[in-house]
Structure 1
Amino acid sequence: MASNGQTETATLVAMLDERAAVNARLVLVADGQQWRLHHAQVTLDDAPSKERAWRYSTASFLELSLPGSTAAALLRGEEQDIHGVRVVAPGSLSSTAFVRRLRGQEEWGRETTRWPRTEWTISRDTSVPQNGYDLLVGDGPSFLNFDQALSAFLHQRPYDSTTNRTDLWRIVQPQRAGWFSKITIGPDLLTAVVDGENLASAVLEVSWAAGNQIHSLDGAGSYSFALPDGLAHDSLLMLRREDEWLDWRSFPAPAFGRARDASVVWEQPGPELDLLLANGEGQHLECKREVPEGESRKKMLKTIAAFASKDGGTVLIGVQDDLQIVGLSEQSNVDKQTLQIASMIRDNLEPVPAYESRVIDHDGKKVFAIEVSGGGQMHAYRNGQRLEFYVRVGPNTVPARHHEIAAGFQQAPTATTF
């Protein structure tokens, strides 16, 4: 099975060529009298593909089942007639593709699946003139511009900066031998619900620094591990067959500013908060005793902007600087505070970062968490008519230097990406 690294493009061509059919999403842009391939996403799956066709004067978006030989020819750079149009594919591709094997529920390039998968990507030549930003009106939904149409077609999600990928080809192979459909972590018990199409000889293992436990599987179903001392830091839950992993989850201190894994249910919110606070305030964590006012509010908003401009982070409200958990006051209206914070972020940060707010219960005390995602672009705090940029240095939020701002904008996609 493929692992992270490089794969010869010729190997992918052969892989496509030997399949009777593949599911494909093709994004085409008008190039004179022909249609040039802008992005191809191919899924090596036996499940039938639904069919969609959005056609505009400058772009076309097609979802259909293709003969494997047709997909292989496109990957070789050969022109093909597809769905009534002549598709021109770049013929000078890289000789290798980047390959990455992903566990279940892992997001990469805005894609998440319940089961593990292997993905191969080949970058496009970004020096080729790309599609413009005109309104798209035609035989399909109307869109403000090409970027919005691309995000809706590939992801069924609103456009944001992460849509601007540079891959020309994306080949996805689902790995459905076995996966975790649900994991529940309690104070003294971990329960994993396992599903899959080939679980013969598979075992389930939970391991930590001081030891491990292993269960043999009788097929799909629910399996439990007793944890008398609770879930240890840096525990690893592994579904494997001999030396090959099928799916896995790791449980370090919670990932700061990342979307939470939908398959994991924490029934021990106290320990979850303890893990979050284990390393104290720092690069990815800021604590506030209560919803701040005045200058303290400005500082919190600047910190949220700094989190969003880099790797993300979490603001905890109801925790003192010395990490003592005091909780929200009994008079606090959580729904009102949620709306208040949302308004603060919307009115003072540009662009508005992606974040999630939630309440964590800890020994009868409520702590409000604002989990900010890192978006790969700079986010500014609006100070009157002036935009200010900040970065996180350890536990401090400081003004960004010119080279840091420049680097942040260089990483962010621009209109020339497409």
Structure 2
Amino acid sequence: MANNGQTDVAVLVAMLSERAAVNVRLALVADVQQWQLHHGQVTLDDDTPVAERFWRYSTVSFLELSLPGATVAALLRGDEQDIHGLHVVAPGPPASSASTSRLRGQQEWARVATPWPRTEWTINRDANTPQPDHGVLVGDGPSFLNFDQALSAFLHQRPHDSNAGRSDLWRIVLPQRAGWLSQITIGPDLLKAVVDGEALDGAVLELSGAADNQLQPVDGAGIYRFPLLNGLAHDSLLMLRREDQWLDWRSFPAPAYGRARDASVVWERSGPELDLLLANGEGQHLECKREVPEGDSRKKMLKTIAAFASQDGGTVLIGVQDDLQIVGLPERPNVDKQVLAVVGMIRDNLEPMPPYETRVIDHDGKKILAVEVSGGGQMYAYRNQHRPEFPEFYVRVGPNTVPARHHEIATGFRQAPAVITF
């Protein structure tokens, strides 16, 4: 199966029709005497029983339940259906094809990650479909300020963000548990992979890089070890496969501090992780500082943090020179005070508060402070204390932080989940 492509909807209708029951989550919008489908999520998983939920409001309803596969297939085909006492219709003419994505284990897409690989099919909603009312929701279910918050809570049990307003009408998920990598532990001279799965006959585990390749037959679930004579190369690929079909895989480029981490990859010591991060030098997602800046030099670091947060994240490493030499934090003041100084700078000068974490990394007896900034889905401003009425916005262009252009600022605010008032 190709990793990405298109699937005829008739194929999905046939696949659903063959199943006695499927788990579904439906978001419905009131439309005269009927309910129009806003988003449907189908999970083709016989191993996980559904926990039924029903949230009912005057203008929208949310349902999670098990339905006959034929009922969901009919709705996907565009036929009206009666579901849990509601007459449900699909908006517009049925689509002819669905986008297809095959995802490895722990790969997050549309706010969802699973330990095992999966195939997902999505069908986009017509752009002209009426949107639900965004007023306060009070009814037979938790109360919400608006539909987007309710949808995010119902689908993900997570707060609303700019990605929660889904553009797809249907999302169909097929878990693939033949084999997967449940955990990878990386040390200076050894990689350990924990393999799990339901059909591992004939599988092999391969660790490959530009200068080396190691293969091991997989004789069942368990731990498999690969010696790393020269450490882990930054272009390494760990592949669980059967013949020419992959079951699961992980790659190890320079770690992207500040963005979503793969929960299945554990670095036994921070040294290899830091070495890989520095392998590509300063760039779009990495800035190095010899020490915690003071005085006017603080602005350069702060505007870089604002740029990371305004885009897709990045890391500032303090204790590393521009030439990537690791010098470590100075002994005085102590590390805790240096961390607090950075936290205070961010709190006092950036608005709104960007999503970030601080982490102290031990490397060969030296301590490095990593300020890991996540992409926040909106624009973040540097507030010059001498001119607080003029917020400044920045973006990252390669290894440089530059003032954001007007269209970049406008785009950032259009994507923001809430209006920011300065």
Report if TM-score (shorter chain) is over 0.5: yes
The 3 A distance-change label for structure 1 pair 232 and 370 is same
Q: Residue 300 of structure 2 aligns to which amino acid in structure 1?
A: K
Query: Does the 8 Å CA contact 1:162/1:375 hold for their aligned counterparts?
Result: no
Cα distance in structure 2, aligned partners of 1:146 and 1:343:
36
Q: Residue 4 of structure 1 aligns to which amino acid in structure 2?
A: N
Q: Residue 403 of structure 2 aligns to which amino acid in structure 1?
A: P
Q: Deviations over 1:265-296 (max 9, x none)?
A: 11131121121112222222111223333333
Look up the SS of the partner of 1:65 in the other structure.
strand
The offset of 1:339, in angstroms, is: 5.3
Partner of 2:276: 275
Cα distance in structure 2, aligned partners of 1:132 and 1:339:
44
Partner of 1:364: 365
Could you tell me which of 374, 387, 392 is aligned with 2:391?
387
- Bigger CA drift: 399-408 or 363-372? 399-408
Look up the SS of the partner of 1:303 in the other structure.
helix
Cα distance in structure 2, aligned partners of 1:413 and 1:111:
19
The 3 A distance-change label for structure 1 pair 339 and 161 is farther
Q: Residue 116 of structure 2 aligns to which amino acid in structure 1?
A: W
Cα distance in structure 1, aligned partners of 2:133 and 2:336:
42
Q: Residue 401 of structure 1 aligns to which amino acid in structure 2?
A: R
Look up the SS of the partner of 2:160 in the other structure.
coil
Partner of 2:286: 285
Cα distance in structure 2, aligned partners of 1:353 and 1:213:
42
Partner of 1:378: 379
Partner of 1:214: 215
Could you tell me which of 402, 418, 421 is aligned with 1:398?
402
- Bigger CA drift: 265-274 or 116-125? 265-274
Q: How does 1:123-134 map onto structure 2 within 5 Å?
A: 123-134=124-135
The offset of 1:406, in angstroms, is: 3.4
Cα distance in structure 1, aligned partners of 2:351 and 2:33:
41
Query: Does the 8 Å CA contact 2:92/2:126 hold for their aligned counterparts?
Result: no
Q: How does 1:140-289 map onto structure 2 within 5 Å?
A: 140-289=141-290
Partner of 1:14: 14
- Bigger CA drift: 160-169 or 197-206? 160-169
The 3 A distance-change label for structure 1 pair 21 and 201 is same
The 3 A distance-change label for structure 1 pair 51 and 299 is same
The offset of 1:199, in angstroms, is: 0.6
The 3 A distance-change label for structure 1 pair 319 and 12 is same
Cα distance in structure 1, aligned partners of 2:267 and 2:298:
30
Q: Residue 253 of structure 2 aligns to which amino acid in structure 1?
A: P
Q: Residue 11 of structure 2 aligns to which amino acid in structure 1?
A: T
Q: How does 1:294-373 map onto structure 2 within 5 Å?
A: 294-332=295-333, 334=335, 337-338=338-339, 341-342=342-343, 344-373=345-374
What is the TM-score when the length of structure 1 is the normalising length? 0.93
Query: Does the 8 Å CA contact 2:307/2:396 hold for their aligned counterparts?
Result: yes
The offset of 1:189, in angstroms, is: 0.6
Unaligned stretches of 5+ residues in structure 1: none
The 3 A distance-change label for structure 1 pair 143 and 332 is farther
The 3 A distance-change label for structure 1 pair 329 and 404 is same
The offset of 1:392, in angstroms, is: 1.3
Partner of 1:50: 51
Query: Does the 8 Å CA contact 1:164/1:413 hold for their aligned counterparts?
Result: no
Query: Does the 8 Å CA contact 1:302/1:397 hold for their aligned counterparts?
Result: yes
The 3 A distance-change label for structure 1 pair 380 and 30 is farther
The offset of 1:113, in angstroms, is: 0.5
What is the TM-score when the length of structure 2 is the normalising length? 0.92
- Bigger CA drift: 190-199 or 286-295? 286-295
Look up the SS of the partner of 1:292 in the other structure.
coil
The offset of 1:412, in angstroms, is: 5.4
Query: What's the C-alpha RMSD, in Å, of the aligned pairs?
Result: 2.1
Cα distance in structure 2, aligned partners of 1:95 and 1:49:
29
Q: Residue 401 of structure 2 aligns to which amino acid in structure 1?
A: T
Query: Does the 8 Å CA contact 1:147/1:159 hold for their aligned counterparts?
Result: yes
The offset of 1:198, in angstroms, is: 0.7
Q: Deviations over 1:86-139 (max 9, x none)?
A: 111124233211111111111111001011111111111232221232221111
Partner of 1:25: 25
Cα distance in structure 2, aligned partners of 1:359 and 1:72:
52
Cα distance in structure 2, aligned partners of 1:273 and 1:15:
46
- Bigger CA drift: 161-170 or 123-132? 123-132
- Bigger CA drift: 238-247 or 312-321? 312-321
Number of matched pairs: 415
Cα distance in structure 1, aligned partners of 2:118 and 2:261:
19
The offset of 1:356, in angstroms, is: 3.4
The offset of 1:368, in angstroms, is: 1.3
Cα distance in structure 2, aligned partners of 1:15 and 1:380:
50
Look up the SS of the partner of 2:383 in the other structure.
strand
The offset of 1:408, in angstroms, is: 3.7
The 3 A distance-change label for structure 1 pair 381 and 131 is farther
